[in-house]
Structure 1
Amino acid sequence: MAASPSPVAGKGTIPSSKAPISLRLYKVLGTNYDDPGVKEALVTLSELYDTQRETQVNKRVDSDSEEEDESSSPEKTPVLSRENVAEKARKNFRRDVGSKLADGSRKFLQAFGEVDQKLDVLQSVLADMRTTCDNAQAQLRSTGDSCSVLLNRANRLHNQRADVETRQTIVSLLLERFTLTEEEVQAVVSRDVPVGPRLFEAMTKIEQIRADATVLLSGEEGQTQAGLDIMADTASTLEQGYQKLLRGCCLEFSKFGRGANLEVSDDTKEAVRRLQKRPELLEEALLILSETRHNTLLQNFLVALTKGGPAGVPRPIELHAHDPIRYVGDMLAWVHQTIAGEHEFLEALFDIKQDKRMVGSVRKFNHDNPQAVQEALIGQLLDTAVDGLAKPLKLRILQTIKSQEGSITSYKLANLLQFYAVTMSRTVGESAFLSATLHELTEVAHQVFFEGIEAQSRSLLRFLHPPNEDLSPPLTLYDHAQILREMMAVYDSSLLGDEDEPNRREGFTRILDILIPPIIEMCEKMADLKGTKDPRKDAWDRHIFLINCLEYLESVLHPFAFTMKHLGNLEALIDTHAQGLVDSHFEQLLVDSGLSPIIAAIDNHSADTPLSHIPQASSQSLTAAVRQFSTFLSTLDVLSSPRLQLLTAPALPGTIHRRALTKIALAYEKICIQVKRPENKYEFVSTILGSQRPFGQTSTLWQLLGIQEPVR
């Protein structure tokens, strides 16, 4: 082989393209052995020849061990060294690689043959499986159809079960709501279960069942059979419950007899409340109660009259029969106290709450009030319970009234009866038998009283005598006025306080109309009996006597407001007689003052004749009169007059005296006015009037008399 040029022969030397070894060397030298592909190829090549060497070594060892048995082997396989292997590899690389590839291909073919066999088996199995799957799918479709039918049926059964459970729940609730338990039925029908909470609860449930059942009777489709059955089944049970309540109440009411404790239990109150829904049953039970209380109260009243209380305290009422006021008052007080206790008992029985009404005040019924029915029942029961007291009470009171002779006692009895009649009417009602009896007794008592005072008034005119010398009221007037004063005090104390003023006056007007006119007539006739030879003195004494009598009578009536009408009449009479005294006293003062002739001349003279030409009013007469009037003023007592000292009223004498002096001052003023007129032709007027007090000045005269000048 020709030598290739050296790669380092000189700069710029270019390898020849025709030197394959150089190209190969350059290629080898330029190869990058860090490439993973190259590394992998070298590793594969190394393993190939290492494997061949090891194989040859193993074969040599095996051949040495089998030399004796294999004597027919012509030669032994030589063992290659690493250099020989590399040399051989360089020579037989292509063949070795091809052989290796052929061996690998045979192995692949063998493996693929086995795979082909397995695939044939697998294909057969898959065909069987496909057939099986087709059969399974057909069965699944058939099973699915069957399951669908079963599921639909199961769904329908489930829905039916839910519907049945709902219906069962509704039926259970319906039975629970519309039926009674065995214990509740026994509480209603059994006699062993007393009237109490168990019975009340059972009846409440029955009533609730019947109330709920009305819904079943008023549906859109009309009455349902269930509602009719429920109402029919509960009707008899409810009726048994009411009958049991009736028997229990009747038994309990029969125990409220004499000496029984009137405390009402809660069970009895509840039973009465429930029986109010059945008035006919309640009326039957209350009939037994009213009869029991009627007999009991009558017996208690008779015992109180004759035996008194336990151990004689309080004492029997009839022990005080000699004292009519106390006797009648004790009987009426016992009845009133009994009615009050009975009323409290009945209010507790009907469970009515106590109001703040005062004892004896008017009981107001409100028909819109739910308690109005109970109040009416209480009134009926009270009337029935106490009507037995009316007969023995009436007999004893009538006997007491008719046995009285004094008008005061009769009036006290009448007033006492009237007070209790009004009180009972307000407690048990106007229509109650006891109220009617007391009103009847009150009328009898008033009739007896009025007959007595009328007879007493007529007796005043039978025995008349002249007045005393001091003109004081007669003793008969004092006695009669004292009786009148006691009657007015009794009447005033008997008033309840809620009467209006007209009713207060009207209640005593008839008595005053009977008693006052006879007294005045008696005094007038007595005044007429005092006769003297001097008519003026008789008239004067008559006025004083009548004023004294009327003033005393007025003082008797004055403390009481209900006598205003007759007080006005008396004051008018007193003013009339006082005016008579004023006129008479003025005439006397006019004479004493010397002005009487002048006043008479002024009153009687005519307009054609001058006043100074009348002898009684001449200048000389006028001068003498003025002088006498001045003397009269100097001796005059302006506060009182001895002529009026017989008047018993403290302030009246001074009043009459001042009124007479007022008229004297007006008379003097009248004289001054007439004297100063020119037509009367008086000379030296200022000298005549101004020479003596009051110097012709009326203002000075008012001051001297101590009287305020009247406003004109």
Structure 2
Amino acid sequence: MASSGSASTASLAAKTPSPLSSKVTSVLSSSYADTEFREALALLDERGVLNTPDTRRQLRLDLQKEVIDSNGEIIAEFSKVSEQLRRIGATIGRLNESFNEMKREIGTAHQATSSSLGEASRLMIQKQQVEQKQTLLKAFKGNFILSDDEAAALTLMSEPVNDLYFATLAKAKKITKDCELLLGFENQTLGLEVMELASKNLNLGFQKLYKWVQKEFKTLNLESPQIGSSIRRALRVLAERPTLFQNCLDYFAEAREHILSDSFYTALTGSSASGVENTSTKPIELAAHDTLRYVGDMLAWVHSAAVSEREALEGLFIGEAEEIKKGIQAGRENEIWRLADEEGDGARDFDAVKTLNDLVDRDVSGAVRILRQRVEQVIQTNEETILAYKLVNLLNFYKSMFSKLLGPGSSLVDSLGLLEAEALRQFRSLARDHVAALQGDFVQTPTELRPPEFLFEALEQLSAIMKTYETSLASSAEKEADFETIMVEAFDPFMSGCATMAQTLQPPSDSVFLVNCFLTALNSLAPFEFTPTRTTQLQAKFETERSHLVESQYVFFRKESGLDALITALSILGNGAEDVEKVPLLEAAQAPALTQAGQLLDDFLPSALMDAMENLKHLQDSKLVQQITEEAAERFCVDFEQVEEKLMLADELAEQKQGDADELQSLRALFPRTSGEIRVLLS
């Protein structure tokens, strides 16, 4: 048992680790990567601890001593804090006692002043209500009621129309519009009363403005460089009452019509309608002996007056066009009685340019009436055809000018159109009278087939008319169409007279006479760009008569050369063998006939060209005579070539059939002339 006990103790001692092994095991199992371990090492390094055996033995004791010392310091500090907290607790106790005492005193004071505070609260509430009512009343009066000064500025005629008036008028319009809000409440009495008062003041204000504008129109000086801004502003505002606005325009147009009528009368006669002489201007009537200048001066005066009137009035309408348009539109919406009239036609927008043109047109209407009377008198007393047309062109020129200035629908343009039509009728009448007076001259043909004198006179007159018409403002297409009526009256009758005279002549004299007439007419019409159609027609007629002359000369060459029968006989035959065999059998191809034809040809050729040109000696264009004769000679040469060719073919065919050339009668031997010789002699 003893041995067994010692053996177990030895095994237990072997199993129990020794302190050294435990330490070694602990060191070996420690992780040097642990953060806390690294921080501990860093702390030891900072303290500068040396790694000695004494230090390692005292390290734990030193550390425990430092911890004990630190805890002692902390406890000492906490004792001081505890002392301060005791003092604070005592102070808070004293404050609580003071608070309770004050609370008791406040309660006593509240009980004593509660009734007074209630009364003051009620008074404050009443004060706020009164202030709100005062603010509301002030706002109401400021927005819905005109002050006495404002009402006086708006309605009294003694007060000027100035910025205060327009501001008050704008306020009155705003009041009438804002009254719609008052009418939306259940009690509409206030809204109705305010609207009635505002509408009354507004109507009185517009009546005042209407009368003021009329007064200003009486003294308005259109000759001034600028019309005052006040009148423009007044018209812009008055446009909200279209009826009053239109009445003002009518009044102004009537006043300006009288002024311009008197001015035009003074410019015509040198004295006013009342007899007051004006020595500063030269009367237009002094030039009455010069009809064209007289009418031109009157039209120029009216044009200058219309331009000046329009330039002066542009500031009233063009600059304020949009505002006036808005005002008239608003006025039409408010004037209920006008809606019924406009529903059928449709409400028309305000056109500032058209209104301006209409107003200027009405301003000069009085002067235009005087102008029309004077011009009608001039037209009716005129007996000169060219002057009559110059009046037509002058009136057409000014009609175009006024059409651009005032528009094509103005009464001034219509009046000038009527005067132009009347002048044109007078021109046609004079032209027809002139043609009727020349009817006897249409029968007698001039000597030497010259164009008749009446044609020269007519073309001279027509050239003067065309030079006058060339200055018109119409486009080329319009010019040609408009001038066609003039050609019918001033040109066609004389050309018809020439055609009638040509019917009494024998060919080719009739063609020579017509060609001379056509050339003269073409020379007169060609320089003008608005006669291409007439020029083309005359050229076609000229070419027709020219072809007749060429044919006449060609016939002359054939007959006088003695080859007419031969050319006629051979022309029906072709170049085939059967037709060529018939050539010697023709009567015109027999030896006596060919010999005689050759002799006549030889006698004719030396003077053929001169004799042919002598036939056209009355043709005034020598170059044309040469051209016509050359064309006829060329046709004759072509015919001679055909004759020559067929005679040679006939000789060749006869030689082929009979073989003995000595016994044959050669047709070319009887007719030796060649086409080359003919061309040389006729060239």
Across the two proteins, how many residue pairs are aligned to each other?
A: 548
Selected match of 2:169 from 170, 180, 203: 203
Given that 1:540 and 1:584 are in contact with CA atoms closer than 8 Å, whether structure 2 keeps it comes out as yes
Given that 1:675 and 1:682 are in contact with CA atoms closer than 8 Å, whether structure 2 keeps it comes out as no
Residue range with higher mean Cα deviation, 333-342 or 657-666: 657-666
1:489 CA displacement = 1.8
For residues 177-196 of structure 1, the aligned pairs below 5 Å read: 177-180=143-146, 183-196=149-162
Given that 1:321 and 1:327 are in contact with CA atoms closer than 8 Å, whether structure 2 keeps it comes out as yes
Selected match of 2:243 from 267, 276, 280: 280
Match of residue 307 from structure 1:
270
1:405 CA displacement = 1.4
Given that 1:610 and 1:679 are in contact with CA atoms closer than 8 Å, whether structure 2 keeps it comes out as no
Gap change, CA 1:200 and 1:137, over 3 Å in 2: closer
> Is 1:245 the counterpart of 2:209 in the alignment?
yes
1:464 CA displacement = 4.2
For residues 656-667 of structure 1, the aligned pairs below 5 Å read: 656-667=628-639
**Greater fraction of residues in helix:** 2
Match of residue 307 from structure 2:
340
Gap change, CA 1:455 and 1:148, over 3 Å in 2: same
Given that 1:347 and 1:353 are in contact with CA atoms closer than 8 Å, whether structure 2 keeps it comes out as no
Q: Which amino acid in 2 is paired with 1:326?
A: R
Q: Which amino acid in 2 is paired with 1:560?
A: F
Selected match of 2:461 from 451, 463, 483: 483
Match of residue 367 from structure 2:
389
> Is 1:265 the counterpart of 2:228 in the alignment?
yes
Length-normalised TM-score, structure 2: 0.67
Gap change, CA 1:629 and 1:145, over 3 Å in 2: farther
CA distance in 2, matches of 1:213, 1:686: 127
Given that 2:154 and 2:201 are in contact with CA atoms closer than 8 Å, whether structure 1 keeps it comes out as yes
CA distance in 2, matches of 1:167, 1:451: 91
Match of residue 295 from structure 2:
328
Gap change, CA 1:217 and 1:575, over 3 Å in 2: farther
Match of residue 480 from structure 2:
505
1:569 CA displacement = 2.3
> Is 1:296 the counterpart of 2:264 in the alignment?
no
Q: Which amino acid in 1 is paired with 2:526?
A: H
Gap change, CA 1:626 and 1:148, over 3 Å in 2: farther
> Is 1:575 the counterpart of 2:540 in the alignment?
no
Q: Which amino acid in 2 is paired with 1:496?
A: L
Given that 1:390 and 1:433 are in contact with CA atoms closer than 8 Å, whether structure 2 keeps it comes out as no
SS at match of 2:491: helix
Match of residue 109 from structure 1:
none
CA distance in 1, matches of 2:120, 2:597: 151
CA distance in 1, matches of 2:553, 2:357: 69
Match of residue 427 from structure 2:
449
SS at match of 2:470: helix
1:673 CA displacement = 5.3
SS at match of 2:417: helix
1:563 CA displacement = 2.2
Match of residue 521 from structure 1:
496
SS at match of 2:351: helix
Given that 1:413 and 1:445 are in contact with CA atoms closer than 8 Å, whether structure 2 keeps it comes out as yes
CA distance in 2, matches of 1:169, 1:704: 127
Gap change, CA 1:450 and 1:473, over 3 Å in 2: same
Q: Which amino acid in 2 is paired with 1:275?
A: L
SS at match of 1:559: coil
Q: Which amino acid in 1 is paired with 2:209?
A: L
SS at match of 2:172: helix
1:210 CA displacement = 3.9
Given that 1:298 and 1:388 are in contact with CA atoms closer than 8 Å, whether structure 2 keeps it comes out as yes
Match of residue 624 from structure 2:
652
Selected match of 1:496 from 473, 484, 490: 473
1:648 CA displacement = 2.4
Gap change, CA 1:465 and 1:211, over 3 Å in 2: same
Gap change, CA 1:500 and 1:584, over 3 Å in 2: closer
CA distance in 2, matches of 1:196, 1:134: 75
CA distance in 2, matches of 1:598, 1:145: 165
Q: Which structure has more RCO (C-alpha within 8 Å, separation ≥ 6)?
A: 2
Given that 2:563 and 2:597 are in contact with CA atoms closer than 8 Å, whether structure 1 keeps it comes out as yes
SS at match of 2:448: coil
Superposition RMSD in Å: 4.6
CA distance in 1, matches of 2:113, 2:636: 146
Q: Which amino acid in 1 is paired with 2:230?
A: D
CA distance in 1, matches of 2:676, 2:294: 78
Given that 2:648 and 2:668 are in contact with CA atoms closer than 8 Å, whether structure 1 keeps it comes out as no
Q: Which amino acid in 1 is paired with 2:512?
A: I
Given that 1:272 and 1:282 are in contact with CA atoms closer than 8 Å, whether structure 2 keeps it comes out as yes
CA distance in 2, matches of 1:149, 1:544: 141
> Is 1:374 the counterpart of 2:340 in the alignment?
no
Q: How big is each residue's C-alpha offset from its partner over 1:447-491, in whole Å with a ceiling of 9 and x where there is no partner?
A: 221111112122232134654443221222111111111122222
Gap change, CA 1:169 and 1:612, over 3 Å in 2: farther
Rg comparison, structure with higher value: 1
Percent identity reads: 27
SS at match of 2:507: helix
> Is 1:564 the counterpart of 2:532 in the alignment?
yes
Given that 2:183 and 2:191 are in contact with CA atoms closer than 8 Å, whether structure 1 keeps it comes out as no
Q: Which amino acid in 1 is paired with 2:300?
A: A
CA distance in 2, matches of 1:378, 1:255: 20
Length-normalised TM-score, structure 1: 0.65
Gap change, CA 1:196 and 1:633, over 3 Å in 2: farther
CA distance in 2, matches of 1:353, 1:213: 29
Q: How big is each residue's C-alpha offset from its partner over 1:159-194, in whole Å with a ceiling of 9 and x where there is no partner?
A: 997787677666655554445455443432344432
Gap change, CA 1:377 and 1:137, over 3 Å in 2: closer
CA distance in 1, matches of 2:631, 2:320: 68
For residues 404-423 of structure 1, the aligned pairs below 5 Å read: 404-423=382-401
Match of residue 236 from structure 1:
200
Q: Which amino acid in 1 is paired with 2:242?
A: P
Given that 1:612 and 1:682 are in contact with CA atoms closer than 8 Å, whether structure 2 keeps it comes out as no
> Structure 2: which 5+ runs fail to align?
1-92, 322-344, 656-660
Given that 1:472 and 1:548 are in contact with CA atoms closer than 8 Å, whether structure 2 keeps it comes out as yes
1:266 CA displacement = 1.1
1:579 CA displacement = 0.7
Gap change, CA 1:269 and 1:635, over 3 Å in 2: same
